[in-house]
Amino acid sequence: MTLLKDSTVLVTGANGGIGAALVQAALDRGARRVYAAARTEKQWDDERVVPLHLDLTDAVSIEQAAATASDTTVLINNAAIFPHGDLLTAPWEQVTEVIEINLTAPIRLTRALAPALRSAKGALVNVNSVLSWFAVGKAHSVSKAGLWMATNAFRLELAPDGVQVLGVYPGPTDTPMQAGKDPAGMNKPADVATAIYDALEAGEHELLVDDMTRKVHSALSAPVTALYPALAQ
């Protein structure tokens, strides 16, 4: 279990819907410091928040952010993009960018901060998705499936040093990533942030945030047509 009180949290994508909620909820639970990592830093009205420049497409930016935030005890890989386009027909640059930002960069940042997490016996939180287990997101789903397995691998590698690794799997959530969609029935970012910190403080390995995610996850043990009925025709 990892308590937020007196922790030093680094949240990537801190200006986004779930990211901003994670910053606020960490403050509410007594974090000592919160690094709010973003491409465009903004001012926060709490002196415990330290704006941190981070562009996940830039390896130097990742290394610099990790060096600046070397006292991090809880790393939350939250930033991601969700471009629309099929794996076969989307521009190749779009396919590689989504894999870079959603998969390669979180792995790189975790490697850079692993010594800090180990020395603090802290925690790693990867915000994955129901789309880690469901291919409607195309290249996005590929990146999130990869991050699911990276989360599992990091858990095995970090457990001997007492680092908790929490994989988070939300379904649709009312954030800018879902702009233009009807928010009815979606998760609220503040509720997702609360569930994440509750799971962290309870010592969990995984958090399946909602019924949609639990349903998709349970269908993985069935024949593949359970998730993709069109294939049965």
Ligand X SMILES: NC(=O)c1ccc[n+]([C@@H]2O[C@H](COP(=O)([O-])OP(=O)(O)OC[C@H]3O[C@@H](n4cnc5c(N)ncnc54)[C@H](OP(=O)(O)O)[C@@H]3O)[C@@H](O)[C@H]2O)c1
Residues that bind ligand X (CB under 6 A): 13, 15-19, 38-40, 54-57, 78-81, 101, 127, 129, 170, 172-173, 175-178
Q: Which is nearer to ligand X, 10 or 120 (by Cβ)?
A: 10
Q: Which is nearer to ligand X, 81 or 90 (by Cβ)?
A: 81
**Adjacency order of strands within the sheet including 8-12:** 49-53, 33-38, 8-12, 74-77, 123-127, 164-169, 206-208
Report the SS3 class of residue 207: strand
What is the torsional sign of CA 154, 189, 197, 48? positive
For residue 15, the minimal CB distance to ligand X (Å) is 4
Q: Which is nearer to ligand X, 3 or 219 (by Cβ)?
A: 219
What is the torsional sign of CA 39, 43, 45, 46? positive
For residue 233, the minimal CB distance to ligand X (Å) is 29
For residue 11, the minimal CB distance to ligand X (Å) is 10
Q: Which is nearer to ligand X, 17 or 167 (by Cβ)?
A: 17
Q: State which residue has the least CB distance to ligand X.
A: 16
Termini Cα distance of the chain: 47
Tokens 């930002």 -> residue:
101
For residue 38, the minimal CB distance to ligand X (Å) is 6
